């Protein structure tokens, strides 16, 4: 970029040229009298790679021993919801009016400066307490939906009238209203509202699995169990001060599509070795030792159960980690840690409406027991405990089991995990290269000799 300005267009062009040089599609554009002609398949090629990476949970992850990209897979589950014809139509309309909605906000400011009395009339109409909505709808429903309805029907249209030069062409919209094709009726806003409240759970799940600072392999089974319940059985959602009921038939059908896709990807097609890794990681999370795995047991009968997770974890510990002639060390109290004020993960996974809940089973510890039995006998840790710190605090009590836990909990299972691995490898490679430089080696040897 030494000879060009760092504009967005130049950055995009340089990026696509670099991608094409690496074999990621083709890029060759020529500007002539007829405009810009040529070929540009870089974006499509990269999008295809991302889709393939998520559609098959193991694709693209061979360098990490086939571990799963779970956050991308959940994104594809959401796509199954949005591919329902009615839901797809509603969200296409929303995308179409996004720019124009921003214009309406700007238009309100301009109207307020130029024609104050008209602006007051418009914004008074946006107050949900002062509007009436057609049909027998309740106050609770109207408060949310009617506001958006008025914004769509009045504010955007008024801005078109006052600013015809910023509207679409007369050929595309003879009446001068560009939002006409994107208008949503009250029932359509209901579909959008119910869909967005449902998909909020999926967004929370993806956010948890994309975390860049915490381990997430232990969260996959609890998170997926929570989403199975959401897409299968949830009939009402508490949002802010409202209770939203899932009543629209199109939303129920879209939810069923997402439910079937979720079960197919995370249960029916999940490899045994991956299921074992996820189950052991969850079992070694001190918060979920007594997690019941109800949905996994339902969809994989005879193949997986809570007892099976304990068996896998114990067998792995005995075979690879348990020292011979081990004597249990005395209990070492960990550092007292202040509970985190953010409990999004806890509130998401331990919702009282979910069937996948925690069941505390405390058994008395035996003096001759090994670390695994001692750990199982402990009650579950609090929901806001940081997992890695818990194992560090209890390293004196579980030295061998702690090493096993850190290995299973460190499995990269999301984009964030892989990015951390790449970052670590890059850092080590960079440090090694610096150490092997001639000047660095001479300085090191000179310091050693003196």
Q: What is the pLDDT of residues 292-310, one digit of tens each?
A: 888 888 888 777 888 888 8
Q: Is the dihedral of CA 423, 428, 431, 434 positive or negative?
A: negative
User: pLDDT value at position 318?
Assistant: 87
Which of 89, 133, 128, 126 has the alpha carbon at shortest distance from 104?
A: 126
User: pLDDT value at position 47?
Assistant: 46
pLDDT tens for 138-187 read 444 444 444 444 444 455 555 555 555 554 444 455 454 555 565 566 67
Range in 92-96, 244-248, 384-388 the model is least confident about = 92-96
Does residue 366 have a pLDDT over 50?
A: no
User: pLDDT value at position 243?
Assistant: 76
User: pLDDT value at position 390?
Assistant: 92
pLDDT tens for 35-85 read 656 777 776 655 444 434 444 434 444 444 445 577 778 888 888 888 888
Q: Which of 67-76, 325-334, 373-382 has the highest mean pLDDT?
A: 373-382
Q: What are the structure tokens assigned to 237, written together? A: 């959602």
pLDDT confidence bin for 23, thresholds 50/70/90? low
Give yes or no for a contact between 242 and 140, defined as CB atoms under 8 angstroms apart: yes
Sequence-separated contacts (24+) of 293-298 with Cβ below 8 Å = 293/221, 293/225, 293/356, 294/225, 294/355, 294/356, 295/224, 295/225, 295/228, 295/229, 295/267, 295/355, 295/356, 296/221, 296/225, 296/267
Sequence-separated contacts (24+) of 164-167 with Cβ below 8 Å = 166/103
Mean residue pLDDT across the chain: 67
Helices marked H in 139-248: 139-150, 156-162, 186-209, 220-232
pLDDT confidence bin for 31, thresholds 50/70/90? low
Residue percentage of the chain with pLDDT more than 90: 4
Please give the C-alpha separations between residue 419 and each of 69, 212, 216, 277, 414, in angstroms, as whole numbers. Answer: 11, 8, 13, 20, 9
What are the residues whose beta carbons fall under 8 Å from the beta carbon of 250, sequence distance 6 or more?
A: 84, 86, 87, 191
For 242, the 3-state DSSP assignment is strand
pLDDT confidence bin for 259, thresholds 50/70/90? very high
For 90, the 3-state DSSP assignment is helix
What integer is the mean pLDDT of 1-26? 60
Give yes or no for a contact between 168 and 70, defined as CB atoms under 8 angstroms apart: no
User: pLDDT value at position 203?
Assistant: 82
Range in 14-28, 238-252, 415-429 the model is least confident about = 415-429
């Amino acid at each position: 970029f030494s000879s060009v300005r760092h504009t967005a267009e130049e950055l995009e062009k340089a990026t696509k040229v670099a991608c094409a040089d690496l074999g990621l599609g083709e890029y060759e554009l020529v500007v002539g009298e007829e405009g810009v002609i040529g070929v540009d398949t870089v974006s499509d090629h990269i999008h295809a790679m991302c889709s393939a990476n998520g559609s098959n949970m193991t694709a693209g992850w061979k360098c990490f021993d086939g571990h799963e990209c779970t956050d991308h897979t959940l994104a594809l589950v959401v796509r199954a919801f949005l591919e329902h014809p009615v839901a797809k139509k509603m969200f296409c309309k929303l995308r179409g009016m996004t720019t124009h909605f921003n214009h309406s906000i700007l238009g309100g400011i301009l109207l307020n400066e130029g024609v104050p009395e008209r602006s007051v009339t418009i914004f008074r109409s946006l107050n949900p307490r002062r509007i009436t909505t057609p049909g027998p709808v309740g106050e609770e429903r109207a408060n949310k939906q009617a506001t958006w309805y008025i914004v769509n029907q009045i504010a955007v249209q008024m801005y078109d009238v006052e600013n015809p030069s910023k509207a679409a062409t007369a050929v595309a919209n003879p009446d001068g209203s560009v939002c006409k094709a994107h208008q949503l009726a009250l029932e359509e806003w209901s579909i959008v509202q119910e869909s967005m409240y449902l998909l909020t759970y999926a967004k929370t799940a993806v956010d948890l699995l994309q975390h860049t600072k915490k381990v997430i392999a232990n969260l996959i089974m609890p998170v997926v169990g929570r989403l199975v319940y959401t897409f299968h059985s949830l009939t009402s959602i508490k949002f802010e001060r409202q209770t939203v009921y899932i009543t629209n038939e199109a939303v129920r059908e879209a939810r069923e599509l997402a439910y079937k896709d979720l079960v197919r990807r995370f249960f029916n097609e999940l490899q045994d070795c991956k299921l074992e890794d996820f189950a052991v990681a969850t079992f070694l999370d001190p918060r979920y030792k007594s997690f019941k795995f109800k949905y996994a047991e339902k969809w994989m009968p005879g193949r997986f159960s809570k007892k099976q997770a304990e068996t896998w974890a114990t067998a792995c510990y005995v075979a690879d980690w348990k020292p011979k002639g081990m004597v249990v060390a005395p209990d070492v109290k960990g550092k007292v840690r202040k509970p985190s004020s953010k409990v999004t993960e806890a509130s998401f996974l331990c919702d009282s409406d979910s069937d996948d809940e925690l069941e505390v089973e405390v058994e008395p510890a035996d003096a001759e027991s090994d670390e695994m039995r001692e750990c199982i006998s402990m009650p579950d840790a609090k929901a806001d405990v940081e997992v890695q710190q818990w194992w560090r605090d209890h390293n004196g009590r579980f030295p061998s089991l702690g090493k096993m836990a850190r290995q299973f909990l460190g499995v990269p299972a999301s984009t964030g995990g892989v990015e951390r691995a790449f970052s670590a490898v890059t850092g080590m490679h960079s440090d090694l290269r610096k150490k092997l430089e001639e000047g660095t080696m001479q300085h090191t040897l000179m310091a050693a000799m003196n």
